[in-house]
Amino acid sequence: MRLNRAGIVFGVVYLLLGFAWIAASDPEEPFLRAAWFVLVAAAGSVIPGIANQVSLARAYLAAPALVYSLAPDRLGFLAVVLALAGLTDLVDGTIARRFDKPSTLGGGLDPVVDGVLLGAVGVGLTFAGIIPMWLALVIVGRYLVPAVAGFVLLSMGRRPELRHTVTGQISTALIIVLIGGICLFRFMNQDAGNVVIGAEVAIPIATLATFAHLGWAARRSMAARPG
């Protein structure tokens, strides 16, 4: 990979926004947060395509998402971050179809940045006592297991087809909506018990459905290309 214009331009914009957030939030450890933004910008500088850069926004949002998830009095800000993340998840596919074209790189990048963002949220909310640890592990596993499986297949010389699945998109949307709903209810001092129960039921079911669908799609792809 090499440096490209989209990666550099978007990286500069994201860095400026990230540093502005650090300055406005008056953090205790600004260098760690700045280091994360710089790391993501460095990785993004070699990722081509406008749609992929929009997807990468969710990796940048992982920093404020983790900070806000650890602070029960800032869950309203976390809900806003998740809303922005959901918007980028809707927009990147449209941009890819209109200006770029759906690619293997984009198909692989999307779940990675989703996992980074939602994994950070799950871990932060667990430490804050908002959701149980097992649910955070399910959220992390939702993205970690397919990533590990894809890496294993690639290391074996296989080339799994990296693309969006309906169940994968639904599970990500459910996680964003339900976790965002819990945060919003808690921020408004409302009882979030029913939303938590809904998340404890819907997220594991959606995760299992995603695993089954991905396994079936991978098997069909391997069968279609036996060589």
Class of domain 50-224: mainly alpha
DSSP string covering 21-51: HHHHH--S-HHHHHHHHHHHHHHHTT---HH
pLDDT tens, position by position, 173-209: 899 999 999 999 998 999 999 999 999 999 999 999 9
User: Residue 27: CB partners within 8 Å, gap ≥ 6?
Assistant: 33, 67
Proportion of the chain above pLDDT 90, given as a percent: 51
Cα angle for residues 216, 217, 218 (degrees, 5° grid): 90
DSSP string covering 90-149: HHHHHHHHHTS---HHHHHHHHHHHHHHHHHHHHHHHHTTSS-HHHHHHHHHHHHHHHHH
Distance of CA 60 to the CA centre of its chain: 10
Residue range(s) occupied by CATH 1.20.120.1760 in the chain = 50-224
Q: Say how many CA atoms lie within 13 Å of 152 toward its Cβ.
A: 7
What is the Cα–Cα distance from 96 to 163, expressed in whole angstroms? Answer: 13
Q: What is the mean pLDDT of each run of 10 residues along the chain (227 residues)?
A: 85 95 83 94 90 92 94 91 90 74 68 91 93 94 81 62 72 91 91 93 93 75 52
Q: What are phi and psi of 121, to 5 degrees?
A: -65, -45
Q: What are phi and psi of 225, to 5 degrees?
A: -130, 70
Contact 69, 125 (CB under 8 A): yes
What is the Cα–Cα distance from 122 to 60, expressed in whole angstroms? Answer: 16
Predicted TM-score (pTM) of this structure: 0.85
